[in-house]
Structure 1
Amino acid sequence: MTVRDRGVAVIGNGPVGQTTALLLARRGVPVVLLDGRPERDPTGSKAICQQRDVLDVWEAVGAGHRIAEEGVTWTTARTFHRDRELFSLTLEDAGSPAFPPFVNISQARVEEVLDERIAAEPLITVRWGHRVVDVDQSDDAVVLTTATGARVVADYAVACTGARCDALRQVLGVRFDGHSFDDRFLICDIWADLPDWATERRFYFDPEWNPGRQVLIHPCPGSTFRIDWQVPADYDLAEEERSGVLDARVRAIVGAGTDYEIRWKSVYRFHARVADRFRVGRVLLAGDAAHLMSPFGARGLNSGVADAENAAWKLAYVLRGWAPPSLLDTYHDERHAAAVENLDVTTATMNFLVPHDDRGHARRLAVLEGAATDPALRARVDSGRFAEPFWYVTSPLTTPDDSRPFAGRPPKGRVPAPAPGVLVPDVPVTAPGATRLRQLAREGCCVLAGPGVDAHGALPRVPAGPVRAVSLPEIDPEGRVAAALGVRPGELWVLRPDAYVAGIVTDPAELPTVLRRAVGDAAPRRDQMMGRPSTAG
């Protein structure tokens, strides 16, 4: 049987695939969502740390606040060496964000919430029991063959099939270079009454109850705690359960007199791998299908959702005729660079957690023993750098501004100053149909006109696609947006459909060039013209 599905086939009905499908449907693109499993498996917490900017993406499809309200909010991360607290970190707020820095909630619950949004979306068709085993492409379509022999034909496909994607990557001819770490991590979801630990993350280096290795404790909803123990490569979970060692391991944390229940457990081996290509013709790779990294810093799912947003708006613009197909090449440019950055950060963390030799162990011990009193050594303690949006400063879609040079990776817990290639801070606004700056930006390309600039007169020659021009003094009379961005007199700020800054101009005549570049179109095309762009503010 062959089914023609106009639009996009999303392969993999996990959170990255769900997000991709919802964002495509939000922009009017029909989606068929395929998964090889017979139904959803709700077992285990899996990815638990949902980052602020990811909640913001989910809010664009009506799920962000619900997930945030159900999750456990925490703002402080505590780091210990043996029985001594070395330091704590409070995450920075940029602007006046609508969400906390992180919430902890199980991936399984996130999937349930996203499933509800998918069920309410008529443009999305879900098909369980459709494991894709082959991919063929032509000039105008991609043909997916499932294990049952069914064939699904779509304009494009996005592979969100998770870590176990070797067969599909092989079919596509994609390399997955990198390495795997020898040490394992035992992960348990534990119910226990520990109210003093309910709102903070704790990381222990070399505690007496896991000597020579690390332990990470995260609070989750419903008095549940996610505990990760670093264990040796030959760790045997079944033997620990039989001998009572697992109970002793848990008791060392929750206390001898505290009732507890293990609700899920697993043993993981972590990897650091990235696909050599994120685009193969009409197929894009996203999430764990494109990159694998250790979870310290919560960069796996959070990075996957960023992949989903990047892929979705670009596919929608191409399919609706607002941008050329070459725009999809920039998906690889931007998200591969983000994956390399994430791997660099997480591999550095793993190298600190699991030194390769005696010299590395000695160096780490010296850092940990001195960090309690020496701020310089404290900065070298690496228990994971929290997930953060990547910066597209070298993207082909970004028009650089020499007066706002990018200073590189910001200090831990901070974000880059607003500039071309950087995600805008989330700030309240008062505009038709929007109460937040990012909400305003995600309707399409957005032009922010600073004081003294005619927002309505700035767009007469802009090519097609949704473009909105707003006057900052009108949507933000108190000047919070201008202050958060650092807007200078006479400037026009161009925001992409994913709320990243595409460019900044002072001459309105340069605006069409920046807007075309922002959607991958080097020159205007008459087939893109759809009348005068909408304006507001």
Structure 2
Amino acid sequence: MTVAVLGSGPVGQTAALLLARRGVPVVLVDRHDRRDPVGSKAICHQRDTLDVWAWLGAGRLAEEGLTWTTARTFHRDRELFSLKLPDAGSALPPFVNLSQARVEEVLDELIAREPLIDVRRGHRVTGVTQPGCVVVECATAEGPRRIEADYALACAGARGDTVRRALGRSLGGVSFRDLFLICDIRADLPGWAAERRFHFDPPFNPGRQVLIHPCPGSRFRIDWQVPDGYDLAAEETGGALDHRIRAIIGDRPYEVLWRSVYRFHTRLADRMRAGRVLLAGDCAHLVAPFGARGLNSGVADAENAAWKLAAVLRGEAGEELLESYHVERHAAAVENAAVTTATMDFLVPRTEAQRRHRLDVLTRAEDDPAACAQVDSGRLAEPFWYVDSPLTTPDPRRPFAGRPPRGALPPPGPGVLLPDVTVTAGRLRDLARQGFLVLTTPGVRAEGTRSVEIPVGGALGARPGEAWLVRPDAYVAAVLRVGDQRAHLVPGVRGVTRIVDDVGDRAHAAE
């Protein structure tokens, strides 16, 4: 009973820890001999990602990270608007800025203490076959190696072409012509630590954008949009990079900690399941980083895959449950691609109509607050809602109204992630991650699985006589009432629960 996790970036690390937490032995394979701790890379980690890491024992990541509270947006030399982030009342911040290197360091510490995780570094995957199991062929400094596992999770990143080819998968989509220069600097910038600054067409980068993110330790991440063919080495040699930075921060001392040039993509695998192998993170989908939907969606992939693989390996579900991984997470990837593509169309318009629209919106936003809502610099990562999943039973009394406004969450209901709330038995999401959970209202009892009584109303909006069936990733699978006759509410999962009221009427949630 083993799962091979191919790739040890944050998504692979999270997947390995989640599987081990559920009692599944893991072989964690990575082509690198050691970590490269340089560079911020993925920095913005959303609340629900922090929630997963906290459950795994990495709650310090939320404490170490920096949360900016004000988003300032500029057009040319004029500030358009400034937004304050609301307090959602959660114990966790809405997101933190923290370097990917620090995240990997903390997760590596947890992995080192986990006896169920066998780390194989310096193993470059050369092939994957499935002769009734998963066989991973690797090249190492000592020669070829062969790893056999029951299932595998491919977290090999954007450059996991060998893994994708072996599985018959590719990343279809588009790449954007413009490049983005990223610099991490250390500088004393009073008042900037609590602000994210986005500049459209500023005097110091005319015709393009600049984004400035604060990070812990007086560090700042600056992203410039630059033209195709941009030469970083030439800028460094001729002093132009220094001029770029000083045009933003002024005549202050600073230190460049890391710099790199990226081209952004929108690319998706057509399927995220290939037999016994599931694809996750950048190995399955690439999106532009505005809105921080890359690493965050990869962690959501890992959690979705981990509980399903564990259920199948423990004999609690048939292998058909794994198909729901593709259904749910591919739909999430499609939505992320749509959101980030709309952002890139605004940031880097490719047609004359898009250019006219962008200029019109930015010009009107200088004096019209209503136009500010149309300025698209990225919609921050949020959970995907599995309302159309085969594992979700719709409730006509709680219809899903579609994607809520930016920064808002849909009301709880089938297919929606539980709110981050605490009851007398503990944090609801932590309780759910221990296995299927039934939340009952007073006067309703549950047999066959764990249950917790919750008050009527409150954060869930539960009503008298209801029982809420919650999946191990804290998503609501169904809302039941005493007397409901609904079988197989979670297809492929055996013996989930049976809801019973005090006087003996029954509603079968699963057989």
The TM-score with structure 2 as length reference comes to: 0.94
User: C-alpha displacement at 1:492, in angstroms?
Assistant: 0.7
Deviation per CA, 1:425-459: give whole Å up to 9, x if none.
1012221xxx2111111111111111332x3xx21
Q: Is the 8 A contact 1:74 1:101 kept in 2?
A: no
Match of 2:36 among 13, 35, 41: 41
- Partner of residue 170, structure 1: 165
Q: Is the 8 A contact 1:447 1:493 kept in 2?
A: yes
Match of 2:362 among 348, 368, 386: 368
User: Helix, strand or coil for the counterpart of 1:517?
Assistant: coil
- Partner of residue 483, structure 1: 458
- Partner of residue 115, structure 2: 122
Deviation per CA, 1:455-489: give whole Å up to 9, x if none.
3xx21xx4xxxx3111114xxxxx6xx32111111
Deviation per CA, 1:205-237: give whole Å up to 9, x if none.
111111110011110111000010000011111
| Residue 450 (str. 1) matches residue 441 (str. 2) | yes
User: C-alpha displacement at 1:359, in angstroms?
Assistant: 3.1
Deviation per CA, 1:67-106: give whole Å up to 9, x if none.
0111112233221112222223344555x31210110000
- Partner of residue 503, structure 2: none
User: Helix, strand or coil for the counterpart of 2:458?
Assistant: helix
User: Helix, strand or coil for the counterpart of 1:502?
Assistant: strand
User: C-alpha displacement at 1:107, in angstroms?
Assistant: 0.1
Q: Is the 8 A contact 1:15 1:111 kept in 2?
A: yes
Match of 1:252 among 244, 247, 254: 247
2 CA distance for matches of 1:90 and 1:417? 23
2 CA distance for matches of 1:60 and 1:7? 22
User: Helix, strand or coil for the counterpart of 2:207?
Assistant: coil
Deviation per CA, 1:395-424: give whole Å up to 9, x if none.
000000011111111111111111100101
- Partner of residue 490, structure 2: 518
Match of 2:137 among 134, 145, 151: 145
- Return closer, same or farther for 1:86/1:452 CA change in 2, 3 Å cut-off: farther
User: C-alpha displacement at 1:138, in angstroms?
Assistant: 2.2
- Partner of residue 241, structure 1: 236
- Partner of residue 104, structure 1: 97
Match of 1:377 among 350, 371, 376: 371
Q: Is the 8 A contact 1:296 1:349 kept in 2?
A: yes
User: Helix, strand or coil for the counterpart of 1:19?
Assistant: helix
User: Helix, strand or coil for the counterpart of 1:387?
Assistant: coil
| Residue 498 (str. 1) matches residue 470 (str. 2) | no
User: C-alpha displacement at 1:170, in angstroms?
Assistant: 1.0
2 CA distance for matches of 1:518 and 1:77? 41
1 CA distance for matches of 2:23 and 2:85? 36
Residue identity matched to 1:392: Y
- Partner of residue 454, structure 2: 472
Please list every run of 5 or more consecutive structure 1 residues that lacks an aligned counterpart in the other structure: 1-5, 474-478, 526-537
Alignment of 1:379-398 (within 5 A): 379-398=373-392
| Residue 17 (str. 1) matches residue 12 (str. 2) | yes
| Residue 220 (str. 1) matches residue 211 (str. 2) | no
Q: Is the 8 A contact 2:478 2:489 kept in 1?
A: no
2 CA distance for matches of 1:90 and 1:502? 34
1 CA distance for matches of 2:85 and 2:249? 26
Q: Is the 8 A contact 1:274 1:292 kept in 2?
A: yes
2 CA distance for matches of 1:89 and 1:425? 24
User: Helix, strand or coil for the counterpart of 2:118?
Assistant: strand
User: C-alpha displacement at 1:519, in angstroms?
Assistant: 5.9
Residue identity matched to 1:436: R
- Partner of residue 505, structure 2: none
- Partner of residue 3, structure 1: none
- Partner of residue 499, structure 2: none
- Partner of residue 439, structure 1: 430
Residue identity matched to 1:199: A
| Residue 134 (str. 1) matches residue 157 (str. 2) | no
Q: Is the 8 A contact 1:396 1:520 kept in 2?
A: no
Deviation per CA, 1:483-537: give whole Å up to 9, x if none.
21111111111110000010101126547x3xx533633x759xxxxxxxxxxxx
1 CA distance for matches of 2:362 and 2:150? 54
| Residue 53 (str. 1) matches residue 48 (str. 2) | yes
User: C-alpha displacement at 1:358, in angstroms?
Assistant: 3.0
Q: Is the 8 A contact 1:385 1:412 kept in 2?
A: yes
- Partner of residue 83, structure 2: 89
| Residue 280 (str. 1) matches residue 274 (str. 2) | yes
Q: Which has the higher helix share?
A: 1
1 CA distance for matches of 2:414 and 2:369? 33
- Return closer, same or farther for 1:90/1:415 CA change in 2, 3 Å cut-off: farther
2 CA distance for matches of 1:517 and 1:314? 16
| Residue 351 (str. 1) matches residue 345 (str. 2) | yes
User: C-alpha displacement at 1:349, in angstroms?
Assistant: 0.3
Identity score, percent: 67
- Return closer, same or farther for 1:322/1:93 CA change in 2, 3 Å cut-off: farther
- RMSD of the TM alignment (CA)? 1.5
User: Helix, strand or coil for the counterpart of 2:144?
Assistant: coil
2 CA distance for matches of 1:104 and 1:231? 24
Q: Is the 8 A contact 1:86 1:371 kept in 2?
A: yes
Please list every run of 5 or more consecutive structure 2 residues that lacks an aligned counterpart in the other structure: 497-511
Residue identity matched to 1:438: R
- Return closer, same or farther for 1:342/1:92 CA change in 2, 3 Å cut-off: farther
